[in-house]
Amino acid sequence: MIHPSYTELMEAINEGAEMEDEPLVTSRYSVVLATSKRARQLIAGKEPLVRSDGKKPLSTAVEEIYKGKVNILPDEEETTEEE
């Protein structure tokens, strides 16, 4: 089994959202878009925000999103680094 699961990732992403707002991520597709975009950023040369010794870019992106190191913007399914 893959850890974290899609459900755990969606819960981690939506955890910081206000209760009256819609969840930032509502489907597996949204999670895939966000992680693939971040993985492409890592491949292009961005520095990882978590320790990634020997990990593939996608694994690093999933871990960054799960740990809250990357924000997902609500309107655009885009990821940005936290400042």
CB 27 within 8 A of CB 13: no
Which spans in 15-78 are helix H? 28-43, 57-66
Residues 34-77: tens digit of each pLDDT? 889 999 999 999 999 998 788 899 999 989 988 888 877 655 54
To 5 degrees, how large is the angle CA 49–CA 8–CA 21?
90
Taking residues 17-28, report their average pLDDT: 66
Write the Ramachandran bin of 61: left for phi over 0, alpha for psi from -120 to 50, otherwise beta.
alpha
Q: What is the pTM of this model?
A: 0.71
φ and ψ of 79, to 5 deg: -110, 145
pLDDT of residue 10: 81
- Cβ within 8 Å of residue 69, ≥6 positions away: 49, 50, 81, 82
Q: What angle separates helix 6-14 from helix 57-66, to the nearest 10 degrees?
A: 50
